[in-house]
Structure 1
Amino acid sequence: MRVLQINSVCGFGSTGKIMVDIHNLLIENGHESLMFYGRNKASGVDEKYAKRFNSKLDILYHTFLTRFFDKHGFGSKRSTRKMIKEIEKFNPDIIHIHNIHGYYLNIELLFNYFKKSKRKIVWTFHDCWPFTGHCAYFDYPSEGTHWENGMHTCHTKKSYPKSSLFDREKKNMNDKKRIFSNVDDLTIVTPSNWLKDLVNQSYLKQYNALTIRNGIDLNVYKPIRSDIKEILNIKDKRIILGVASGWEERKGLHFFLELSKLISKEEIIILVGVTTKQISDLPNNIIGIQRTNSMKELAELYTAADVFVNPTLEDNYPTTNLEAQACGTKVVTFKTGGSPEGIFNSNGIVTSEKNSHELYEAIKTIFNDKDQVNVQMLAENIDKYILFKKYIDLYKRIINI
């Protein structure tokens, strides 16, 4: 079996790591695999398996089209044509696309090729961008958003992919619907049932959609005892942990700031992924740690925590919930997007009300809970080696082998 994957990045970020994980499984099982990507350098993979097609100048021009004219996905014509020629050379049995936004790809050229070539396509949605007129998410804030002719309107052109001048939402909606419709053999995969339900409400319901959840490496994320409490001089305190790749508004930073006014002196908040500016603005009972590239250090923090709190206001299927449970720590999250779907075997609490008081009540309930997380029972739900094998099985079903 010959499989080609396409994504904005390769080997880093959640989508880039997922692509490489699937690639590694393909190679280990004796299949041919190649990855095309658009930005930065590939990480954690032999370069013979990963090809980048965009120049920095091409990405800058695509960014210009997005920022000023709200034409995200309609630049990068030259690099997309170059990529299509390489697709023809490789002649894959399956083309698996991930994020096709990210300032690197021309969606019209690519999908016109799909329609003419009759390729078998798998498309993993990591967000809502394919069925909105602009944004990747629309849950927060949700005022004024609605379905319109199978597409969802967006709350602001200022969200990613940001446009500072023109608002082309209606034109983008019509163009995406025209471009993404009527592909002969396309299967959509979503990591959460929440996102699959949205796909089935959109014009994309014409396609078969199924859920394959994202997983994590249980060889990395597991209970690891450490002296982290002694190092941070918080040996006698209960740890409330929050982790994000970036603490923007939708990730819920303000809820931790509000929590800091509610927690007792025996409790401390640790936030991982904050910037130096954000650290300087934190109150004394919040310890800020900049983003760590050490997964072992992160696993130590998860293990040391007494509860993991994820107050995200919009998300598909955050793997931080999985990482915390794998390290033996229970989770508190809002009833938002696919976040609740990542809590297994009563290993956490989902709060319906999105406020700091509800969060703190749930946190105190976790503190008083004597039941331990059974990490072994989690494997079938969170182990990436088990979950991503479902992609291999899907490929085989599609090409009837």
Structure 2
Amino acid sequence: MILHLSTFHLEGGAGVAATRLHRALLYSGEDSYMLIPEVQNPEQGIIPLANTKWKSRINFFRFVSERLQFLPFEKDKSVRFAFSPAAAGADISTHPLVIEADIIHLHWINFGFLSMDSLEKLFSLGKPIVWTLHDMWAFTGGCHYSRGCENYLIHCQYCPYLAQPDEYDISFSQFEQKAAIYKTAKMALVSPSNWLNDLTKKAKLTKNLPALSIPNCLDTEIFKPKSKTEIRKVLNLPIDKNLILFAGANTQDPRKGFDYFKEAIRISSALSENIEVLIFGKSNPDSFASFPVPVHYLGKITETEQMVNVYNAADMIIVPSLEDNLPNTIMEAMACGTPAVGFATGGIPEMIDHQETGYVAKLKSTNALSEGIEWIIRNNINGEISAKARKKVEDCYAENVVTGQYSKLYKSLLEK
């Protein structure tokens, strides 16, 4: 039995990716379960740790405790959720599903779900561990993305996320604790992107652990092309405009590069009057007031069908992330035949074949983003780029492709 552990179910990129893998494994015939703190939408094999109101409160207290323990150390509010001390979490080592599991498959487990002590108790069980890394946290002293800091290559200390970084700060102590517990783990590390896999193999904490790259998966029967004209009519969007999409869990997160998107649109709108913008995700609508073109803000979208419709309504998606692993939004859009433009960072260049399935722009260059927008507009008139984008997803990220790779990994670990 495969037991997935994830803080989130259908929220955030990592939670969505974990759930999609669980569903795909079930469909392929694997005995798969997923243990998470709480379930908002019950489904097969998804088991909540909190099955009473009291346990739900305890989950919340763990989250608050974990955040409060970082508060005295944080540099400023902008890094509040960018560093996880993993000081509070649940002990699930005696949970029936954990005891029954043949493979324990970790995903994103921070924000009070599992602490460093929780991980140590899980590893001490001696069960094979697969850990899908959705960011850099597993091999750093606490940050999820290092923002250019390379201390994790030797030993984390003097952490730039901290108000008073020093030689023996909390990044140093977490690094030491990880080094100690990793020695006891029978663990394979999986990175959805080759970029993150390369970092994993270079990082001091993980360079001697088995590591490989397996991408996230997507149901290509759900995320698929539809009639753009009909969808725009349904959503009350203009039929004769080039609609450019920005999608993100939080547009205010500096790492998502929203300011670069805005400036690229300003440059492109000076070249073409036929551009309008679609935005969905958590955001402040007031931030769109100074936009150079009309903005259609669709709010936070949680329904999959609505998400598919928005991808199909757009002519392209822009993903100006400054650091990212393997963004679900690119995969989802391309599966719907919507080409992507993104910065050359993280796993993005692996997803977008430059001037084939989309456009890869020089990092932090708004001019390059604008050039990508113009290139898509000029070259996708007959839908050739859209077809190639869809084919890329079918070949690389379809459920049967990804589950086959994971099943092979599970089998090898059990044989050992």
Into which bin does the TM-score normalised by the smaller protein fall?
0.7 to 0.9
> What secondary structure, in the 3-state scheme, does the structure 2 residue paired with 1:206 have?
coil
2:200 is matched with: 199
Q: Of the candidates 216, 219, 222, which is equivalent to residue 221 of structure 2?
A: 219
Q: Which amino acid aligns with 2:349?
A: P
Query: 2:39–2:46: 8 Å Cα contact kept in structure 1?
Result: no
In the superposition, the TM-score normalised over structure 1's length comes to 0.86
* 367-376 or 184-193, larger mean C-alpha shift: 367-376
Change (3 A) 1:129 1:387: same
1:189-215 CA distances to partner (integer Å, 9 max, x unpaired)? Answer: 000000000001112011110111012
1:226-246 CA distances to partner (integer Å, 9 max, x unpaired)? Answer: 545455453322112111111
Q: Which amino acid aligns with 1:8?
A: T
Q: Please state if 1:103 is matched with 2:118.
A: no
The CA distance in 2 between the partners of 1:307 and 1:258, in whole Å, is: 17
* 242-251 or 281-290, larger mean C-alpha shift: 281-290
Query: 1:145–1:155: 8 Å Cα contact kept in structure 2?
Result: no
1:41 is matched with: 39
* 67-76 or 257-266, larger mean C-alpha shift: 67-76
> What secondary structure, in the 3-state scheme, does the structure 1 residue paired with 2:266 have?
coil
Query: 2:13–2:327: 8 Å Cα contact kept in structure 1?
Result: no
User: For 1:129-208, what aligned pairs fall within 5 Å after superposition?
Assistant: 129-139=137-147, 142=148, 145-151=150-156, 154-157=159-162, 168-179=170-181, 181-203=182-204, 204-208=206-210
Query: 2:39–2:48: 8 Å Cα contact kept in structure 1?
Result: no
Q: Which amino acid aligns with 1:72?
A: P
The CA distance in 1 between the partners of 2:297 and 2:98, in whole Å, is: 49
> What secondary structure, in the 3-state scheme, does the structure 2 residue paired with 1:45 have?
coil
Change (3 A) 1:26 1:243: closer
Query: 1:242–1:271: 8 Å Cα contact kept in structure 2?
Result: yes
Q: Please state if 1:249 is matched with 2:215.
A: no
Query: 1:215–1:319: 8 Å Cα contact kept in structure 2?
Result: no
> What secondary structure, in the 3-state scheme, does the structure 1 residue paired with 2:72 have?
helix
1:365 is matched with: 375
Q: Which amino acid aligns with 1:178?
A: A
Percent identical pairs in the alignment equals 26
1:350 is matched with: 360
1:261 is matched with: 266
The CA distance in 1 between the partners of 2:96 and 2:162, in whole Å, is: 33
Change (3 A) 1:332 1:88: closer
Q: Which amino acid aligns with 1:361?
A: E
Q: Which amino acid aligns with 2:68?
A: F
Unaligned runs of 5+ in 2: 75-83
* 22-31 or 188-197, larger mean C-alpha shift: 22-31
The CA distance in 1 between the partners of 2:98 and 2:300, in whole Å, is: 40
The CA distance in 2 between the partners of 1:314 and 1:294, in whole Å, is: 26
User: For 1:243-392, what aligned pairs fall within 5 Å after superposition?
Assistant: 243-247=247-251, 248-262=253-267, 263=269, 264-278=272-286, 281-283=289-291, 285=293, 286-344=295-353, 346-370=356-380, 371-374=384-387, 375-376=390-391, 378-392=393-407
Query: 2:214–2:405: 8 Å Cα contact kept in structure 1?
Result: yes
2:133 is matched with: 125
Query: 1:311–1:333: 8 Å Cα contact kept in structure 2?
Result: yes
Query: 1:121–1:185: 8 Å Cα contact kept in structure 2?
Result: yes
The CA distance in 1 between the partners of 2:5 and 2:282, in whole Å, is: 30
The CA distance in 1 between the partners of 2:279 and 2:318, in whole Å, is: 10
* 202-211 or 57-66, larger mean C-alpha shift: 57-66
Instruction: Tell me how many residue pairs correspond in the alignment.
Output: 384
- How much does 1:100 deviate? 2.5
1:20 is matched with: 19
Query: 1:192–1:341: 8 Å Cα contact kept in structure 2?
Result: yes
1:57 is matched with: 61
Query: 2:330–2:340: 8 Å Cα contact kept in structure 1?
Result: yes
* 170-179 or 183-192, larger mean C-alpha shift: 170-179
The CA distance in 2 between the partners of 1:257 and 1:95, in whole Å, is: 42
The CA distance in 2 between the partners of 1:7 and 1:62, in whole Å, is: 16
The CA distance in 2 between the partners of 1:360 and 1:274, in whole Å, is: 24
The CA distance in 1 between the partners of 2:7 and 2:236, in whole Å, is: 37
The CA distance in 2 between the partners of 1:48 and 1:250, in whole Å, is: 31
Unaligned runs of 5+ in 1: none
- How much does 1:41 deviate? 2.4
The CA distance in 2 between the partners of 1:13 and 1:43, in whole Å, is: 15
Q: Which amino acid aligns with 2:173?
A: K
RMSD: 2.9
- How much does 1:119 deviate? 1.4
The CA distance in 2 between the partners of 1:199 and 1:173, in whole Å, is: 14
The CA distance in 2 between the partners of 1:393 and 1:328, in whole Å, is: 30
In the superposition, the TM-score normalised over structure 2's length comes to 0.83
Query: 2:139–2:152: 8 Å Cα contact kept in structure 1?
Result: no
